[in-house]
Amino acid sequence: MVGVLIRMKLAVLRHSMTGQRAADMIGGGVLGLVLAGGTIWLALRDWPVDGLPLDLVGAAFAIWTIGWLFGPVLFGGGDETLRPEHLALLPIPPRRLTTGLLAVAFVGVAPAVSLVAFTALIVAALPVGGAAVAIAVPVVLLQLLFVVLASRFVTAALGTLMRTKIGAVLAAVISAGILALTHTGWVLKPTIEYALTAGFPDNLADWVRRLPSGWAIVAVEAAGRGDWLLAVAAPAGLAVLSAAALLGWSALLARRLRHRTASGRPARGRTAARKVRGGGVRAVAGRELRTASRDLMRFHYLVFSLVYALAFCLLPLLVDLPIFVPFIGVAFGIWAAAISANLYGEDGTVIWQTVLTPGAARKDVRGRQLAWLLLTTPVVLLGSVVPTLLSDQTWAWPWLAALVPALLGGGAGVIVLISVLRPVPMTDPHKRSGNLLENGTDFTQVLLMLVLVAATAAPAFLTVRYGPAWAGAVVGLATGVLLTWLLGDLAAKRLEATGPDLLATMRAATSRKNNLTGDVDWNQISASLGGVDLGERRLGIANASPARRAAVYVCFTICWIPLIAQGLVPAILKYTDPGRDSWFVARLVPETLHWPVVSLMVALGLGLIAAGFHQLRAARTESRHATVDRPAEVRPALPHPTGDAG
């Protein structure tokens, strides 16, 4: 059975290596190998303190383990290429099925990359002695077994919890905390610099080894000094934890199969379909407010935004830096807008009522804008006024007076416009499994929204920075009102003009009954629309070669890293705050090289964009030629908006 399941997964991966999926897999694999190489480099480098390589490898293993445990919370439920529901009707005991799925879990990019990273233990053990290397080799495999099993168990447990509001809050706290910590990692720079020159403090080194991720380090050190009892006990502890995780995963898997129907959704307690009736702006706003409190996904998004804002702005207090405290409300507003830009995609096919009702599109857009403002404005105001008063940061008042109305108005306009222009189809709310981990977030859309929402506050920011401070509030209020109205008007016109196309997209994404968990099956959508990927269909590259399509996606995905993150942002900091140190590449080199490095990064980003357009043009040409040479195909008809075909 194990061999059959492995071949099934390999076949699924082989046939799904197209378009965005291929680009994501290639990009993720490259990034993972870079991080794995960095882990090995920590063990290879000649550090000034004895034992520091093992400390650093232990800390890196802790980070890898955290990624395995909580990465699915950020990226949508982990790898379930083969879902247990696919095999629910076969006479396979749950524990045997768990064993088969465990073997399948080691087939993929993530386990391979993690295995490469964990070989850093062998490299770090070389200076310790031959006995340490002998124990390190099997412990590397045991470490991989532990993280995979622990990840499966934690993901299954969180998936069970996340069908409740408590679970939604827990998921938001975990994902927002991890994300905020990565964005404020510069707070730990002094501690890291001290550790790299003087070694880990004793308490930190002890904690690195006490965590299960550090037991491999304990085994290597014990073998090096001849303490074979501890050298065997540490791997044995990992084996016991792995066995416990396997048993727990098996129990949760059995529970999952008992409480699911053949479609993969909960057998009982389904959420009733949300009724959407016609009405004015206030009726739509009331519907949206009720949805925000009842729909676990939207509730999760709001909690995520609040937790991220608190963590991001308060963590710098660890190094006595209160400058971010007044902007808790601003950070919440930006993220609340960034993850609210898929309003129509989240609603699914219920949009047919708006499309078929004359004049309803404009009221629907305005009602959604009003509801979003009613939800976010109180939190933004409280998160701006109260922390500023408590921290006595009086200098922040002009900035808040300018940025708050600009961001609220800009966010209210951008969310509806992007919801219409770039919807990400999802299963209808009443057909979802209820597990938030299975309803992944489109990070491309989130990144786009972060840039756009921040850009709406640019006029107000520049007015306060270079003009009279009092004028910033006027400009912020004016731009906020103007953007709310104009962008909302554009969204309404777009919805009126393309409503049927949007409905067809939603129906294609949700009409397939084998969509077990609520994720969008892009292969099925592709079949419904003539065998092409939706995004590639719009770009005109659907029939280009996989390598050409992957090149387009990779160029346009990574170009923003050198252009924005390593180019424009450090350039702004260099101009506005030249004395502050940071982790940007341009700020880590000698001062005479700051601007050359910034220029190089900007040129690299622009070069990647130019390469992306070149590849896009070549892919379109290749796709046109392939379309001419390919025999005509008959497209299947889309089902009726109000029900399935037949």
Place of tokens 């609220």: 408
pLDDT > 70: what percent of the chain?
76
Which of the four pLDDT bands, split at 50, 70 and 90, describes residue 155?
Answer: confident
Q: Which two tokens stand for residue 222?
A: 């014990």
Place of tokens 């925000």: 292
Place of tokens 């609210």: 340
Mean pLDDT of 587-598: 78
Rounded to an integer, what distance in angstroms lies between the CA atom of residue 355 and that of residue 350?
9
pLDDT, tens only, 253-269: 777 766 554 344 444 44
Query: Which of 517-526, 579-588, 619-628 is least confident?
Result: 517-526
Which of the four pLDDT bands, split at 50, 70 and 90, describes residue 271?
Answer: very low
Q: Which two tokens stand for residue 499?
A: 């409503």
**Among residues 77, 166, 58, 174, which one has the least CA distance to residue 120?**
58
Most confident segment among 160-164, 168-172, 299-303: 299-303
**Among residues 561, 550, 546, 333, which one has the least CA distance to residue 457?**
333
The 10 Å CB-count burial string (b at 16+, else e) for 425-436 is bbbbbebbbbbb
**Where does residue 19 fall: left (phi above 0), alpha (psi -120 to 50 degrees), or beta otherwise?**
left
Query: For the purposes of burial, counting CB atoms within 10 Å of the CB of 637, is it exposed (0-12), middle (13-18) or buried (19 or more)?
Result: exposed
Distances, alpha carbon 13 to alpha carbons 4, 71, 108, 189, 435, in Å: 14, 20, 9, 40, 23
Rounded to an integer, what distance in angstroms lies between the CA atom of residue 307 and that of residue 174?
9
pLDDT > 90: what percent of the chain?
20
Query: Which of 197-206, 278-287, 443-452, 569-578 is least confident?
Result: 569-578
Q: Which two tokens stand for residue 437?
A: 């981990």
> At residue 627, what is the residue type?
T
pLDDT given for residue 448 in this prediction: 81
pLDDT, tens only, 5-40: 777 777 777 776 665 566 667 777 788 888 888 899
pLDDT given for residue 119 in this prediction: 92
Which of the four pLDDT bands, split at 50, 70 and 90, describes residue 2?
Answer: low
Can you count the helices (H) and strands (E) in the chain?
29, 0
pLDDT, tens only, 408-422: 999 999 999 988 888
Query: Which of 105-119, 213-227, 526-540, 558-572 is least confident?
Result: 526-540
Mean pLDDT of 563-571: 76
Rounded to an integer, what distance in angstroms lies between the CA atom of residue 358 and that of residue 355?
8
Secondary structure letter of residue 568 according to DSSP: I
Residue 492 pLDDT exceeds 60: yes
**Where does residue 366 fall: left (phi above 0), alpha (psi -120 to 50 degrees), or beta otherwise?**
alpha
pLDDT given for residue 129 in this prediction: 85
The 10 Å CB-count burial string (b at 16+, else e) for 445-472 is beebbeebbbebbebbbebbeeeeeeeb
Residue 436 pLDDT exceeds 60: no
> At residue 127, what is the residue type?
P
Query: Which of 99-103, 505-509, 598-602, 621-625 is least confident?
Result: 505-509
Rounded to an integer, what distance in angstroms lies between the CA atom of residue 507 and that of residue 512?
9
- Count of alpha carbons within 13 Å of 190, Cβ hemisphere only? 5
Q: Which two tokens stand for residue 117?
A: 């990273």
Mention every residue, 6+ apart, whose C-beta is less than 8 A from residue 556. 608, 609, 612
Q: What is the mean pLDDT of the chain?
A: 78
Rounded to an integer, what distance in angstroms lies between the CA atom of residue 503 and that of residue 425?
10
Mean pLDDT of 384-393: 90
* Range 544-547 contact pairs with CB under 8 angstroms and sequence separation of 24 or more: 544/618, 544/619, 544/620, 544/622, 544/623, 544/626, 545/619, 545/622, 546/17, 546/18, 546/22
Query: For the purposes of burial, counting CB atoms within 10 Å of the CB of 624, is it exposed (0-12), middle (13-18) or buried (19 or more)?
Result: middle
Mention every residue, 6+ apart, whose C-beta is less than 8 A from residue 71. 78, 151
Q: Which two tokens stand for residue 105?
A: 């879990």
**Among residues 65, 60, 220, 57, which one has the least CA distance to residue 138?**
220
